[in-house]
Structure 1
Amino acid sequence: MDSQAVPKASAAVVTPARIGVSLLFLMNGFMIGAWAPKIPEFAERLGLSESTLGLMILTFGLGSIVMMPLAGMQIARFGSSRVSKISALLLTPTLLLLTWVGGIWSGAVAIFLFGGLIGAMDVAMNANAVAVEKSMRRAIMSSCHAFWSLGGLIGSSTGGFLIDHMGVGAHAVLVTAVAALMILASWKIVFHDAPHPDEAAEGKRARLPRSPLPWLIGIMALFCMVPEGAVLDWGALYMRSELGASVTLSGLAYAAFSLTMAVMRFAGDLIRDRFGAVMTLRACVVIAIFGMLLIGFAENTSVAIAGFALAGIGISNIVPICFSAAGNLPGMAAGVGLSVVTTMGYSGILVAPSGIGFIAEHTGLASIFAGLSALLVVVLFLSSLARHADNAHH
């Protein structure tokens, strides 16, 4: 894209490139959301105990952590649009694979591929969102993540119903077809970014960045995704076992968190364009700290649900800002900086919850939720690094 076209593009709020990358986020979230209701049947079919299912879910995480840095190197060589499209194409049939495998080893391979391709696509579509931000000269990352949340919500909320009424196989075929349609709709309009020759060389050399910046931003992403993982995996249990909530009410913990998170992500870009990335991030972190403390010190379920809702508002835009900052680091290919930050961030959601379970046996979940606010204080100390997210606008 030539530089003279950039100011013109900045006038439009919705461009084909923005729709294209938003569809990729929607599709990726939808695939993960559709997988969640399939897990009980998957475990039953392969005869997995709780601990072996735990290992399977860890294999999903390992797939992501292995493939994310590899995707970063390929983005530096070939550009994010090509890597996004190829990883999306390869991801599409993996849910069918997970539905048809019959043994533990083939199940492990399928789940490793599923996690790996979700992760690779994740890095690539985030890098593409950074490229679109640069071309439009406005923030779009938060709304992209909102579409990802929306995809997850659609996939998970319809999955159980469809499996009950159509069967596991038919649900997998339908999900695959919908995912394929989303890719088809986005194929021509995904923003094409050819890598700079220096970046391509960097991708070929395949080494980890020496600059401390991506690692520090990675710590920010990690420290706000650990609380997110804790809410996802332990929120309902905390409501039920420590606050005596009913099954229905305990489900509202994550619902309140995801709802406020999705709403704030759609609003996040406007807020960031108005106040700048650093100011937005600091406000978000303070709200998130308050939310986590409220959860931990809640005397009853309604106070806890208010805490989960506040935590969702706070955490909503921290990760998109971290990803924008990682993709705009000076003198570094977007894919390389992003692969470090996404790998570190997502390991928080994948690895931390099991550690939380171990600690919770000794301390209870209330003190864990309150204690996790300390991680967010570290994010607050590092918040000036979010200034790199505003590089997209200059």
Structure 2
Amino acid sequence: MDEQSRKEIAVRGRRAVAAMFFVNGFITGSWAPQIPVLLVRLEISKFTLGLLILLFGAGAVVAMSWCGHLIARHGSRIVLTRFAIAASFGLLLVALAPDVLLAAPAMIVFGGLIGAMDVAMNTNAVVAERRLGRAIMSSSHGFWSLGGFVGGGLGGLGIQTLGHLAHAAIITAIAFAGVMLAARHLVAEDRPAATGRIRFALPHNPFIYLIGIMALFSMTPEGAVLDWAALYLQQELGADLATASLAFAAFSGVMACMRFAGDAVRNRFGAVTTLRACALLAAAGMLGAGLAFSPWMAIVCFAFCGIGIANMVPIAFSAAGNQHGIPSGIGMSVVTTMGYCGILVAPSAIGFVAEHIGFGPVFISLSGLLFVVFLMAGLAHRADFSVGQPAE
């Protein structure tokens, strides 16, 4: 195969993995406006809703913890394709649940599919980065945020107009079509798939776990906005459903714009400097959201927070996928598992705390985690990987 053909395959693969990021974000963003509806539809308390969200997170974390080993054996292309097809139906499964007893297992499955797809698509993005010889992780996450913006922005209006079930069915059809169009163009790793039994040994490199802590502290505020911002605006700031759904939409929309610029910023200033600046911006925005006295002030502050958080997670993930001596899939699995505890598991604890003190103080406290990331930013130097570095 000549160089031109290889380049064309890499470009198509980059577009395909971007589409996968968009679909994952689209499904996740569409879930956000369904949360207040689930609370009313199942006639449950915020405490019970927090437990359901915890099950969603538990399913995702369990799937993430072994997905890296599946990737090491079968390759990211195959694993991503299969989980993406299944994940397209996750939201519909939850929307069909008529009571808590059936909603609980539906949430576990939904979370597991989204989580496994996330590990696989991030690993495939690292493969595409190396094929292209340039960073694409931030812009890939930009497509995730763009998907979240579209799903979250239209979700509230769609549910009010068509109902929650019709909304979920439409989301499923769009996501499935996107996955099927993109799957055949995904790139695969250069090395042959591993053979034999899958071993679930953890890597010994301690830096991969420190990077995981950075991802955790970056994604906990993101999970709080995803799962609780709508209720915060509704119950504490007096917004209607359509306005409340704009909190996550604004957050994701700004994140998308900043992530599309993130690769160029990182190449210009370096991963460490970029991460430090982003962490300070995010902390300021989260603090402002917690102190907001009107829905629109909170929406603006969440958007400002999104400016900072936008490139924090992509830098951490890129650093994880380029650690020396650790296969990309394994490193990505460790860091995504730790990071997504923040976006999927921590929000359940936030719900429990907010039941007693409200969401405002919680958002103020979360700004402190973002400042800790600022202090740890030096650990992200591996994100500035060497061009042409071979795929694991």
TM class by smaller structure: 0.7 to 0.9
Preserved CA contact (<8 Å) 1:142 1:317 = yes
Aligned to 1:318: 312
Match for residue 57 of structure 1 among 28, 53, 56: 53
Distance in 2 (CA, whole Å) between partners of 1:88 and 1:146 is 18
Match for residue 221 of structure 2 among 222, 227, 231: 227
Preserved CA contact (<8 Å) 2:50 2:349 = no
Distance in 1 (CA, whole Å) between partners of 2:213 and 2:32 is 27
Aligned to 1:91: 87
Moved more, 212-221 or 341-350: 341-350
Does residue 218 in structure 1 map to residue 226 in structure 2?
Answer: no
Distance in 2 (CA, whole Å) between partners of 1:172 and 1:301 is 26
Does residue 157 in structure 1 map to residue 160 in structure 2?
Answer: no
Moved more, 272-281 or 95-104: 95-104
Q: Which amino acid aligns with 1:356?
A: I
Distance in 2 (CA, whole Å) between partners of 1:291 and 1:179 is 31
Q: 2:131 is paired with a residue of what secondary structure?
A: helix
Aligned to 1:183: 179
Aligned to 1:375: 369
**Residues 265 and 72 (structure 1 numbering): CA distance in 2 closer, same or farther, change over 3 Å?**
same
Q: Which deviations, in whole Å up to 9, do the C-alpha atoms of 1:30-79 show, x marking residues without a partner?
A: 22233334445555665545433332222111110110011111011111
Does residue 28 in structure 1 map to residue 24 in structure 2?
Answer: yes
CA offset at residue 350 of structure 1? 2.3
Distance in 2 (CA, whole Å) between partners of 1:234 and 1:376 is 18
Match for residue 386 of structure 1 among 364, 380, 389: 380
Preserved CA contact (<8 Å) 1:292 1:308 = yes
Q: Aligned-residue CA RMSD in angstroms? A: 3.3
Q: Which amino acid aligns with 2:365?
A: G
* Identity score, percent: 50
Preserved CA contact (<8 Å) 1:78 1:194 = no
Q: Which amino acid aligns with 1:377?
A: F
Q: With structure 1 as the length reference, what TM-score do the two structures score?
A: 0.85
CA offset at residue 291 of structure 1? 2.6
Q: Which deviations, in whole Å up to 9, do the C-alpha atoms of 1:286-322 show, x marking residues without a partner?
A: 2223333444556777765554332111111000110
Q: Which amino acid aligns with 1:353?
A: P
Q: 2:73 is paired with a residue of what secondary structure?
A: helix
Q: Which amino acid aligns with 1:260?
A: V
CA offset at residue 343 of structure 1? 1.2
Does residue 66 in structure 1 map to residue 62 in structure 2?
Answer: yes
Aligned to 1:174: 170
Aligned to 1:329: 323
CA offset at residue 104 of structure 1? 3.8
Moved more, 321-330 or 282-291: 282-291
Distance in 2 (CA, whole Å) between partners of 1:305 and 1:103 is 32
Distance in 2 (CA, whole Å) between partners of 1:237 and 1:42 is 12
CA offset at residue 352 of structure 1? 2.4
**Residues 299 and 87 (structure 1 numbering): CA distance in 2 closer, same or farther, change over 3 Å?**
closer
Segments of structure 2 that go 5 or more residues without pairing to the other structure are: none
Moved more, 303-312 or 41-50: 41-50
Distance in 2 (CA, whole Å) between partners of 1:360 and 1:39 is 16
Preserved CA contact (<8 Å) 2:239 2:295 = no
Match for residue 104 of structure 2 among 82, 105, 108: 108
Distance in 1 (CA, whole Å) between partners of 2:126 and 2:349 is 33
Distance in 2 (CA, whole Å) between partners of 1:127 and 1:159 is 29
Q: Which amino acid aligns with 1:212?
A: P
Match for residue 257 of structure 2 among 257, 263, 274: 263
Does residue 147 in structure 1 map to residue 134 in structure 2?
Answer: no
Distance in 2 (CA, whole Å) between partners of 1:173 and 1:241 is 28
**Residues 16 and 325 (structure 1 numbering): CA distance in 2 closer, same or farther, change over 3 Å?**
same
Distance in 2 (CA, whole Å) between partners of 1:115 and 1:178 is 19
Q: Which amino acid aligns with 2:269?
A: F
Distance in 2 (CA, whole Å) between partners of 1:75 and 1:189 is 17
Distance in 2 (CA, whole Å) between partners of 1:230 and 1:336 is 27
Moved more, 211-220 or 379-388: 379-388
Aligned residues: 387
Preserved CA contact (<8 Å) 1:328 1:392 = no
